[in-house]
Amino acid sequence: MSITLQDLGRRYNREWIFRHIDYTFSLGKKYAVLGPNGSGKSTFLKVLAASLSPSEGQIVYQTKEGAATAVDAWFREVAVAAPYLELIEEFTLREMISFHFKFKPFLPSYDMERVLALLNLEKAVDKELRFFSSGMKQRVKLALACCSDSMLLLLDEPTNNLDVAGEQWYLDLVAQTSHDNRIVIVGSNQEKEYAFCEESINMLAYK
């Protein structure tokens, strides 16, 4: 499986957020999308996830067998954790996990109990998410994305609202849930979030 960008660009009104990106993301590798705040990292990740359409160029999503995947079917292969994606705060933790994994299958060997153990929130399983701290909510977002059986994992500002212990928990989570059948892409301007990545793209190079 691969994701190939061909002269990719996106603009809002007359302002180009990025353009002329030619790049290929390959299965089993980890990538960092870098740049200061406002450089277009989140917009770029949304285009990769097919939640935004490119303004120019195209993206070719290719399966392991070499066949192209239609853009409107690509959402099945994507898991995302990002500040702009909210949890359903009226749900309990149990309800949120159950709801999420009706749409995305668990990674092999993962289930409700293992995700709860990973979060270390077994005692809060029937607590509504609106009563969780911001750090607890961020852990839930990350666990839902990382424990989904998806070909593409997008993590935007993954340590947002996490303390030092939470940052280490995030690194351990990515290490545990990464595998050869997944592409991991981290949008960040903090090296501690992406130090494990093998390649990087700097958005300032595509202005």
What per-residue confidence (pLDDT) applies to 181? 87
Residue 70 — very low, low, confident or very high, per pLDDT cuts 50/70/90? Answer: confident
DSSP string, 60-99: EEE-TTSPEEPGGGGGGGEEEE-TTS---TTSBHHHHHHH
Nearest to 159 by CA among 180, 176, 147, 173: 173
What per-residue confidence (pLDDT) applies to 71? 73
What structural domains does the chain harbor? 2-200 (3.40.50.300)
Q: What is the pLDDT of residues 81-119, one digit of tens each?
A: 999 999 999 999 999 999 999 999 999 999 999 999 999
Whole-angstrom Cα distance, residue 157 to residue 167? 11
Whole-angstrom Cα distance, residue 175 to residue 155? 13
Q: What is the pLDDT of residues 169-205, one digit of tens each?
A: 999 999 999 988 899 999 999 999 999 999 999 999 9
Whole-angstrom Cα distance, residue 173 to residue 193? 12
What per-residue confidence (pLDDT) applies to 180? 87
What per-residue confidence (pLDDT) applies to 179? 86
Residue 142 — very low, low, confident or very high, per pLDDT cuts 50/70/90? Answer: very high
What per-residue confidence (pLDDT) applies to 67? 67
Q: What is the pLDDT of residues 28-68, one digit of tens each?
A: 999 999 999 999 999 999 999 999 999 999 999 987 666 67
Q: Is the pTM of this model over 0.85?
A: yes
- Chain centroid, CA 87 distance in Å: 15
H-type alpha helices, the chain:
41-48, 93-103, 112-119, 134-146, 164-177, 191-194
Whole-angstrom Cα distance, residue 174 to residue 182? 11
Does the pLDDT value for residue 152 go beyond 70?
yes
What DSSP element (H or E) covers 33?
A: strand 30-34
Whole-angstrom Cα distance, residue 60 to residue 4? 5
What per-residue confidence (pLDDT) applies to 17? 97
Nearest to 32 by CA among 21, 20, 44: 44
What per-residue confidence (pLDDT) applies to 62? 82
Nearest to 151 by CA among 104, 198, 188, 194: 104
